[in-house]
Each structure stands twice: as structure tokens, then as C-alpha cells.
Amino acid sequence: MKIRRLTIADHRELIKLWERAKLPIKARGRDSRTHIARELRCNPDFFIGAFDGALLAGAIIASHDGRKGWLNRIAVDPDYRGRGIAKLLTTAGERALRRHGIRIFGLLIHVRNRASLSLARRMGYVEHDDIAYLTKRDGEHI
Ligand SMILES: CC(C)(COP(=O)(O)OP(=O)(O)OC[C@H]1O[C@@H](n2cnc3c(N)ncnc32)[C@H](O)[C@@H]1OP(=O)(O)O)[C@@H](O)C(=O)NCCC(=O)NCCS
């Protein structure tokens, strides 16, 4: 399994991976080619993929606001699960953030996503049950 940074040339494969992993996709919003190209220009280190040959078997997106880092959208192809790929990607995402001076890493995980919660605990993340997650959006496609 080769871990490498993704480029905009991987956009199509990334969308296909998310579809296989059943992650919701904002095709006209933040997951569009245009939007991801812009994100990649700002943060070329933060889109990371795990490849089996030419096949994108897993991916993760890191982000940070200068104070705290986030690991987002971790996804592993169903045929490749249970082989430690998510652990590799989590470590790679944390490493990329550390290189940008980030020392606190956060994850947002749905309470019913047992595999992801278990992965997070396995990677040393601590749960906070006293924090509510709130968002405000400029549109439903964003
Ligand atoms: C969550 C996900 C990324 C795990 O990928 P994976 O490559 O199979 O995970 P790994 O093999 O690296 O497993 C790492 C740890 O996760 C946990 N884990 C993984 N799959 C699990 C499952 N089905 N049930 C319970 N725990 C699980 C285990 O603790 C495991 O550690 P261990 O092998 O030492 O016991 C994968 O199931 C996935 O893509 N899910 C759909 C997408 C998704 O929901 N993403 C999260 C968005 S927030």
C-alpha cells in the first residue's frame, strides 16, 4: 500500500472512493472539482491517499485553522477494510498537520458510526460528551 498526497488529477477517483464508502457527497458544493482544486492549492499537503497500484483504496483530508487540526472524511474501500489502512491514513494526516505546527487533532464522528469511533479510540482520541456540534450553512448544496 502506497501512501501519497493526492492531486486534482485524483479527484475523480476520490469521488468514486467516497461513493464506494457511502460517504455523502456535495457534488455541486465543497466536493466539486473546482472547490477541491482551490482547497488543494491552499493545502497541497492535506489530501492523502492510500493506493493499491493505481486503485485509490483509502483517503483522508486534514485541515487546520492555525490553532487546531481536523481529520476529515476518512474512507476505506469496503474490499480493503480491516487491514490497518485507516490507521495508516490517520497517522499520515496527523504527521502532515504536525509539519504545519499543529499539536491538537480533532475528529467529528456520527455517534452511530461504530467503526470510526472505534478507530478514533484505537488511535488515542478522547471523546467529549459535553460538546454539541452546531453549523450554519449558506445553502444546502455547500
Ligand atoms: C472507518 C473506516 C475508515 C475504517 O477503515 P479500516 O481501514 O477498515 O480500519 P483499520 O483496519 O485501520 O482499523 C483500525 C481500527 O478501527 C477499528 N475498526 C475498524 N473497522 C471496525 C469495525 N467494522 N467495527 C469495529 N471497529 C472497527 C478497530 O479498532 C481497528 O483497530 P484494530 O484493527 O487494531 O482492532 C472504514 O470502515 C470506512 O471507510 N467507513 C466508511 C466511511 C466512514 O464512515 N468514514 C468516517 C467519516 S467520519
Residue found under cell 450553512: 137
Positions of the chain with pLDDT lower than 50, given as ranges: none
Q: Which cell numbers in the block locate residue 54?
A: 493505481
**73 C-alpha to ligand 1 centroid (Å):** 12
Q: Which ligand 1 atom is the nearest neighbour of the CA of 89?
A: 12
**119 C-alpha to ligand 1 centroid (Å):** 5
Q: Which cell numbers in the block locate residue 75?
A: 474512507
User: Domains along the chain?
Assistant: 2-122 (3.40.630.30)
pLDDT of residue 140: 81
CA-nearest of 19, 129, 122 to 73 is: 19
pLDDT of residue 97: 98
Paired with 69 in beta bridges are 64, 105
Residues with CB under 6 A from ligand 1: 21, 23, 74-76, 81-87, 109, 113-116, 118-119, 122
- The one-letter amino acid at 31: D
pLDDT of residue 141: 80
pLDDT of residue 83: 98
Q: What is the pTM of this model?
A: 0.96
pLDDT of residue 95: 98
**Distance (Å) of CA 124 to CA 13, 30, 56:** 30, 29, 26
Q: What is the DSSP string of 30-97?
A: TTSHHHHHHHHHH-TTSEEEEEETTEEEEEEEEEE-SS-EEEEEEEE-GGGTTSSHHHHHHHHHHHHH
**23 C-alpha to ligand 1 centroid (Å):** 14
